[in-house]
Amino acid sequence: MADKQKKRIVVGITGGIAAYKSIELIRLLRKAQAEVRVVLTPAAEAFVTPLTLQAISGNAVSTSLLDPQAELAMGHIELAKWADCVVIAPASADFIARLTVGMANDLLSTLCLATAAPILLAPAMNQQMFAQTITQANLTQLSARGIQLIGPATGEQACGDIGAGRMSEPEEIFSALQQRLLQKQDLVGLGVVITAGPTREAIDPVRYISNHSSGKMGFAIAQAFAERGAKVSLIAGPTTLPTPRNVHRIDVESAQQMWQQSLTLACQNQIFIGCAAVADYRVEQVANQKIKKSDDSNEMILKLVKNPDIIADVANLSQHRPFTVGFAAETQQVAEYAQSKLQGKKLDMICANDVSAQGQGFNAEQNALHLFWHTGNKQLALNHKNILAKQLVNEILQQYQQSQIKE
Ligand code: PMT
C-alpha cells in the first residue's frame, strides 16, 4: 500500500464481539503507510473505546453524526469524500440491514451513503443470524450493488455456536483491501475455467455419495483471477458459497454433469483448473424410488462404475487444448502420487495438498500447496485460501506464459 500517495482508509466498526480484531486491522493499515480514520457506531463503543482506536489510528475517532466539535474537525461529508476506501469490520446484521435499505441514522451509515469510494464489508454475527434468509438477501443485494464482502469465516463463535458468521481475520481483510486499492487489471482477455466443490452421485432420490469439499479453494482461485480482469467460468458442485464478483457460475451436481460443462468450456478458454473433488465412481443403477431397509439382510450392496476423468479428458483434447492444472488431494506420499497424476493425466501442472494435515485441505479456511510442473516444483506455505489463491494464480500464469513462448 506504500505507493507515492498515502491511501486514505475509513475503518467503520459496528457493535459486535469481533470489534477487538479491528485494532489489528488498523495496525496493519498503519504499518502499510495508510492514513486511517475510524468511525464507531454507538453500539461499537460498548466493545472498543475511542481512546484505544485514536491511539492506534493516530487520528481522532468519529462516533456521532450530531457532534458539533467533530463536525468542525472533519464533517461527515468531508470524511466521505476524503476516503479512498471504506471498510466496515465487523459489520453486524443490524448495520447490514440498515445499509441495504439506505438508512442514514448514524454517522457510519450516513457516510456510506455519501461516499463514492469502494465499500468493503466484513460481516460478523451468530451463525443462525447469518443463515437467516433476510440476512442472506441483504448481503446479496449489497454485493449486487458493488459492495465487496469479505468472509465471514466458519468455525467456533464467541457464543459457543459453530458455523459461518465469524469475522474474517484482520490479515485477510487487509489483503482484500490491498488488492482492491492496487488492483491490476492485467488479465483482461484471458479465459479461465475452474471446477470447484464436491460432486454428488445419487443412490436414490434421497441419498447420495459425496465428499467433504466445501468449494472454498476453487472459489478463491476464481475470485483471484476475476479481480485481475480475467473472464472466469466457475463450474461448481453443490456448495452454499456466494459467487465471487464478476465470475460466471455454472452449478452442477454429478461428475457427469461437471464433465459435460467442462468439456464444453475448456476448448473455448486458455486455462483450465480442476480443483473439484470429483467422485471417481457413481452408482451404476440409481433407484427411482427411495430404497427400503431390508429386514432379511444386514448388508446392502451398491455396484459402482467409474466416472469420466474430467481433467484427463480436458488435457487430452486434440484441438484448442487449454493449459491444464490439476489438484491432488493426498493423505500419504503426497509428492510422489501428485507427480504420477501429473504424468498419468498429461497435465501441465499439479497442485498437491496434504489433506491428512489438521486445519488445511478439505473444508478448512487454510491450505498449503506443493506445485509440480514438468521442469520444476514450488511449495506455497500454509495460508488462508484467499491469499494462497493469489499466490497460486501468479505461479500458474508464469508457467502458462512459459508454455506460450515454447509454442
Ligand atoms: O473445496 P475445499 O474444501 O476448499 O477443499 C479443497 C480441495 C482439498 C478439495 C482441493 O484443494 C483439492 O485437492 N481438489 C482435488 C481433490 C481431488 O479430487 O483430488 P484427486 O487426487 O482425487 O484428483 C486429481 C485431479 O483429477 C483433480 O484435479 C480432480 O479435480 C481431477 N478429477 C478427479 C476425478 C475425476 N473423475 N475427474 C477429475 O477431473
pLDDT in tens, 63-75: 888 777 667 667 7
Provide residues with CB under 6 Å of ligand 1.
195, 197, 213-218, 255, 274-278, 280, 307, 309-311, 326-329, 341, 353, 355, 361-363
The alpha carbon of 260 is separated from its chain's Cα centroid by a whole number of angstroms, namely 25
Q: Which element (helix H / strand E) includes 201? A: strand 201-204
Q: Within 13 Å of residue 169, how many CA atoms lie on the same side as its CB?
A: 12
Q: Write down the mean pLDDT value for the chain.
A: 93
Confidence band for 1, pLDDT divided at 50, 70 and 90 = low
Is pTM beyond 0.75? Reply is: no
Amino acid sitting at position 324? T
Provide mean pLDDT across the span 132-137: 95
Range name among 98-112, 181-195, 295-309, 310-324 with the lowest pLDDT average: 181-195
Q: Which three cell numbers stand for residue 56?
A: 492506534
For residue range 139-151, list pLDDT tens digits in order.
988 876 778 999 9
Note the pLDDT of residue 183.
67
Give the nearest ligand 1 atom to 369 CA. 11
Expressed in angstroms and rounded, the spacing between residue 19 Cα and the centre of ligand 1 is 37
Gap from CA of 327 to ligand 1 centroid (Å): 5
Cβ burial, residue 30 (10 Å; 0-12/13-18/19+): middle
Asked whether 197 and 276 are in contact (CB, 8 A), the reply is yes
Mutate to test the pocket of ligand 1, among 200, 306, 311, 317 (most ligand atoms within 8 A of CB): 311
CA–chain centroid gap for 311, Å, is: 23
Q: pLDDT-derived band of residue 299, with 50, 70 and 90 as boundaries?
A: very high
The number of CA neighbours under 13 Å toward the Cβ of 381 is: 0
Q: Does 306 belong to an annotated binding site?
A: no
Index of the ligand 1 atom closest to the CA of residue 217: 4
326 is in an annotated binding site: no
Question: What is the per-residue pLDDT across 302-316, written as a single tens digit (0 to 9) for each?
Answer: 999 999 999 999 999
Residue 386, pLDDT score = 83
pLDDT of residue 241: 87
pLDDT digits (tens, 9 = 90+) for 26-44: 999 999 999 999 999 999 9
Q: Collapse the DSSP code of 390 into the 3-class scheme (helix H, G, I; strand E, B; otherwise coil) and give the result.
A: helix
Active-site pick, 85, 112, 159, 267: 159
Share of the chain above pLDDT 90, in %: 80
Active site residue 159: yes
